[in-house]
Structure 1
Amino acid sequence: MSQLDTVLAAGRRAAEARMRDTVRLYSQGADSFDRTTGNTVPGVQTTLYAGKARVKAIAQSTGEEAEAGERELVLREYEVQLPWATSLPGGTRVLPGMRVEVTASPDARMVGLVLWVTGAAFSDQATAWRIRTEDRS
């Protein structure tokens, strides 16, 4: 093992030690309309990862205002860090539009927060797998 590999392994252990939140990364199928009941039926959710993570607000995020339908939204950016060695089933890649739900956190206010994936970074020299998300509430 090279000196770089030793340093990276230590950094990855340290990054995982800071992962005190629990999240669920999932994709959701398209909604459908039930003509019998007149209700929209949510698409099927497929869980790709469930486990420890670190969810943190991005400091320079200004909270961009946007409009969706007739509703005003404030988009706040978050970075979700998963263990570096995390792999998704069947070689699935993280794609924009997937979602991350915070299922447990030492900060109880974060539980239930659903974040929308905007991108993911890959690097063999990273200490964690970083996924960019936004809160669309």
Structure 2
Amino acid sequence: MNGLAEFLARGRAAHRELMGEQLRLYEQGPDVFDRESGETVPGPQTVLYTGPGRVKPVAQASGTEEQAGEREVNLRDYEVAVPWSTELPPGVRVAPGARVEVLASADTRMVGLVLWVTGVQYSSTATAWRLSAEDRS
């Protein structure tokens, strides 16, 4: 192993130690109207990844208030990191609109948090695979 590869392996292992949350990354299909019940039900989910990760707020983000339908929505920016070696199903790329759900965390207030992916970062010299996301609550 050359110097850079060895350095990256140590960095990736150290970053993995910081991943205290269990996450589920998924794509949500479009809602479907059920004619029998008269209800709109969420579309099918395609799970892309389940496993360890790290969710942290972006320090510079102030959060913005947006109008969505008839209610105000606060948008808060987060960085989500999953292990650099995470593999997706063949031919699948994570796109904005995918969602990240916090399944478990030492901070139990985070459990159930759903974030919307706004961007994906790729790098062969990163210590983790990072996703930009926002909380739309």
**Smaller-chain TM-score range?**
over 0.9
Instruction: Structure 2 unaligned segments of length 5 or more: list them.
Output: none
Aligned-partner Cα distance in 2 for 1:87–1:69: 36
Alignment-derived partner of residue 105 in structure 1: 105
| Alpha-carbon shift at residue 91 of structure 1 (Å) | 2.8
1:14 corresponds to 2:11 = no
1:119 corresponds to 2:108 = no
Q: One-letter code of the match for 1:52?
A: P
Aligned-partner Cα distance in 2 for 1:7–1:134: 31
Q: One-letter code of the match for 2:103?
A: T
Alignment-derived partner of residue 37 in structure 1: 37
Aligned-partner Cα distance in 2 for 1:52–1:12: 13
1:84 corresponds to 2:84 = yes
Aligned-partner Cα distance in 1 for 2:114–2:45: 13
Aligned-partner Cα distance in 2 for 1:131–1:34: 34
Alignment-derived partner of residue 52 in structure 1: 52
1:94 corresponds to 2:74 = no
| Alpha-carbon shift at residue 36 of structure 1 (Å) | 2.0
| Alpha-carbon shift at residue 2 of structure 1 (Å) | 1.2
Task: Provide the TM-score with structure 1 as the length reference.
Answer: 0.98
Task: Provide the TM-score with structure 2 as the length reference.
Answer: 0.98
Aligned-partner Cα distance in 2 for 1:32–1:118: 24
Aligned-partner Cα distance in 1 for 2:44–2:35: 18
Alignment-derived partner of residue 24 in structure 1: 24
Q: Kindly provide the CA deviation profile for residues 36-80 of structure 1, in whole angstroms up to 9, marking residues without a partner as x.
A: 211001100111100000000001111111011001001000000
Q: One-letter code of the match for 1:23?
A: L
Q: One-letter code of the match for 2:121?
A: A
Instruction: Structure 1 unaligned segments of length 5 or more: list them.
Output: none
| Alpha-carbon shift at residue 134 of structure 1 (Å) | 0.1
The alignment-based identity, stated in percent, is 60
Aligned-partner Cα distance in 2 for 1:35–1:72: 30
| Alpha-carbon shift at residue 136 of structure 1 (Å) | 0.1
Q: One-letter code of the match for 2:98?
A: M
Aligned length: 137
| Alpha-carbon shift at residue 35 of structure 1 (Å) | 2.0
